Structure 1
Amino acid sequence: MLSADIVLPCLNEAEALPWVLSRIPAGWRAVVVDNGSTDGSAQIARTLGAHVVHEPQRGFGAACHAGLAASAAEYVCFCDCDASLDPGLLTGFVRQVAEGGSDMVLGRRRPRTRRAWPAHARAGNLVLAQMLRRRTGLRLHDLGPLRAARRTDLLALDLTDRRSGYPLQMVVRASDAGLRITEVDVPYLPRSGRSKVTGTWRGTWHAVRDMSAVLAEQPRSLAAGGVR
């Protein structure tokens, strides 16, 4: 049976954690990366059986990368920890990678309600998706956080962004490395609590700024080890 580690970056998600962790596939490991929570998130996650990593450097990318560094499974997945996405859907992602259909699978968010994806966040995502197409040629529609790939491929990308540009840098460098990237539709639910990244126009602007810097990077040559 296929198994994977699911990296869950976490900052004050005590309300959402029980639902998120209840959706982890049987035999898979939840790696909750606490990024300075003050609401007891780390203790809740630990009580619910998750492997908890503490990352003192603030930033979405810092939390994600700490989780990747702490992973041990052949396949590593990423999912937000706010109950907006169902980590149970990742079984299909990993199966697609394992069977050779893709090297990286991304979830294209399909909002179930209008409030699931505020207009400012959707607009920022659309702009970045268009910029990504120009930079890589990839016809992706979303830079959503639900994704899966082999651990060795991810580590070989040598990701350096530690802010909100991390998920975009992962896709850009994977494309530069010749990895096959596919996108599948996933339901997007109203999150629990307020987004720390795109919950406001200001937060969205900062995210777009961080990601624009990633897109300005020149294509890089990667060592062959780990990247097929």
Structure 2
Amino acid sequence: MKIDVVLPCLDEAAALPWVLGRMPAGYHPIVVDNGSTDRSAAVAAELGAQVVSEPRRGFGAACHAGLLAATADIVCFMDADASLDPMELPHVTGRVRPGSRDLVLGRRVVRQGGAWPAHARLGNAVLARALRGRTGVRLRDLGPMRAAPRAGLLALRVADRRFGYPLETVLRAAAAGWHIVEVEISYLPRQGRSKVTGTVRGTLRAIADMRRVWAEQGERR
């Protein structure tokens, strides 16, 4: 069974050969170029990935463009910066049943020092605790590697197009009664500098997006 893998991408030309080279058989990479200024799109195409252009900047915009381009029954999302190993994708997708309402998140476990800055880890822990309190779902990480049925994801109608996209996905899935679980995956030092966790400013920007999504979804309850 083919599984589509959406890889939001902004200037990841250095990381893509490793990432795409470790894609398991049957996993079809969809690299969504989100306005890269390097050769990301060209490198991805040369390595056989499907390339989708999403000129509107935003992590959620890239994720959603990839979801719309996907055709497989099950769709995965993962970062394209080599911080996640594609070889672990089957560990995540193995818990998703086609046609179900399953959402599986990869809980990051640091295998090498420096992979997860302290400020980013603290922010994630606070968010995960708040998610547990609000949804009752036992999550410890808003994991960047995740998988779910494509039809179900489209039906959730996630609206955020910035860094709040993963959070809104979980909140909407929980409100709709989805089965949400997490499995452990390795978290590795990324290639290059992170646009989010690599700087305090980037982390604060992501937190602001998530706070907005949190408030908006709370109003709809």
Scaled by the length of structure 1, the TM-score of the pair is 0.92
Partner of 1:186: 185
Where structure 2 has 5 or more consecutive residues not aligned to the other structure, the ranges are: none
Please state how far the C-alpha of 1:88 moved relative to its aligned partner.
2.0
Please state how far the C-alpha of 1:175 moved relative to its aligned partner.
0.5
Is 1:218–2:218 an aligned residue pair? yes
Residue 192 of structure 1 aligns to a residue whose secondary structure is coil
Is 1:123–2:122 an aligned residue pair? yes
Please state how far the C-alpha of 1:63 moved relative to its aligned partner.
0.5
CA distance in 2, matches of 1:92, 1:103: 14
Partner of 1:199: 198
CA contact (8 A) 2:98 2:149 kept: no
Note closer, same or farther for the CA distance 1:198–1:172 as it changes in structure 2 (3 Å cut): same
CA contact (8 A) 1:102 1:182 kept: no
CA distance in 1, matches of 2:220, 2:4: 28
CA distance in 2, matches of 1:199, 1:28: 28
Please state how far the C-alpha of 1:219 moved relative to its aligned partner.
6.9
Partner of 1:5: 4
Percent same amino acid at aligned positions? 62
Please state how far the C-alpha of 1:98 moved relative to its aligned partner.
2.4
CA contact (8 A) 2:18 2:82 kept: yes
Residue 218 of structure 1 aligns to a residue whose secondary structure is helix
CA distance in 1, matches of 2:31, 2:49: 6
Question: Is the deviation greater in 103-112 or in 129-138?
Answer: 129-138
Is 1:47–2:60 an aligned residue pair? no
Please state how far the C-alpha of 1:114 moved relative to its aligned partner.
2.6
Note closer, same or farther for the CA distance 1:178–1:184 as it changes in structure 2 (3 Å cut): same
Note closer, same or farther for the CA distance 1:15–1:146 as it changes in structure 2 (3 Å cut): same
CA contact (8 A) 1:157 1:170 kept: yes
Q: 1:123-147 CA deviation, whole Å, 9 max, x = no partner? A: 1111111121222111210011101
Where structure 1 has 5 or more consecutive residues not aligned to the other structure, the ranges are: 222-228
Residue 115 of structure 1 aligns to a residue whose secondary structure is coil
Paired amino acid for 1:146: M
CA distance in 1, matches of 2:37, 2:200: 25
1:1-228 equivalence runs, <5 A: 2-98=1-97, 103-216=102-215, 217-218=217-218, 220=220
CA contact (8 A) 1:96 1:102 kept: no
Q: 1:34-62 CA deviation, whole Å, 9 max, x = no partner? A: 00111110000000000000001001111
CA distance in 2, matches of 1:185, 1:25: 18
CA distance in 1, matches of 2:127, 2:186: 20
Q: 1:157-188 CA deviation, whole Å, 9 max, x = no partner? A: 00100110101111111101111000011110
CA contact (8 A) 1:131 1:215 kept: no
CA contact (8 A) 1:76 1:148 kept: yes
Residue 94 of structure 2 aligns to a residue whose secondary structure is helix
Residue 185 of structure 2 aligns to a residue whose secondary structure is strand
Paired amino acid for 1:218: G
Note closer, same or farther for the CA distance 1:92–1:113 as it changes in structure 2 (3 Å cut): closer
Paired amino acid for 2:11: N
Paired amino acid for 1:165: G
